[in-house]
Amino acid sequence: MATTIDGSASVTINSGAVLGITSGTAVASTSGTSIDFTGLPSWIKRITVMFSGVSLSGTAGLLVQIGAGSVTTSGYVSSSAYCGTATVGFTSTAGFLITSGGSSADLFRGIVTIATLGSNVWVSQGNLSRGDTYVWVNAGSLALSGTLDRIRITTTNGTDAFDAGTINIMYEG
């Protein structure tokens, strides 16, 4: 089995699959209630969602949802907890719960990684800082009905809007 490495840091294996990291286009999270990354290639095995100074207009939490043809909004097994002066946990079936809420002044920074176990089963884990003494940790899983082709970052209540920061993704095969 031949392996070649070219100047772009991609690795091509005999099967023709291309391995490497592809960066999406950063999106200003300054309006709207969701941010979508669509048209993702079928060979993805891992996605990293990056948050920099992301804020919401209200007290909702952040959700990451994935989909095959459309965004899946149910069936997730997901939890998030924050650690600081106290530890408090929350759960969600509507998406991978990233943060459980806060205030409109909160600015979140960190990453969430979503990876496949195979057979369209995806797991997530991540850490986000609020910028003070609080850190959110999260994990979850979802079995998709088909091949992942999209990811959405949204709010737990669907009405609070993004009002600050930047969100981007990286993906790899």
pLDDT tier for residue 83 given thresholds of 50, 70 and 90: confident
Question: Residue 7: its pLDDT value, please?
Answer: 47
Compute the distance between CA of residue 19 and CA of residue 68 in angstroms, rounded to an integer: 21
DSSP-derived letter for residue 154 is E
Cα dist from 163 to 30, 60, 97, 127, 173, whole Å: 4, 13, 19, 21, 32
Pairing of strands 150-155, 87-92: unpaired
Which domains occur in the chain, in start order? 21-172 (2.60.120)
Compute the distance between CA of residue 115 and CA of residue 171 in angstroms, rounded to an integer: 10
Query: pTM, whole model, 2 decimals?
Result: 0.87
Neighbours of 141 (CB within 10 A): 16
What are the pLDDT digits (tens) for 32-75? 999 999 999 999 999 999 999 999 999 999 999 999 999 999 99
Question: Residue 97: its pLDDT value, please?
Answer: 95
What are the pLDDT digits (tens) for 140-168? 999 999 999 999 999 999 999 999 999 99
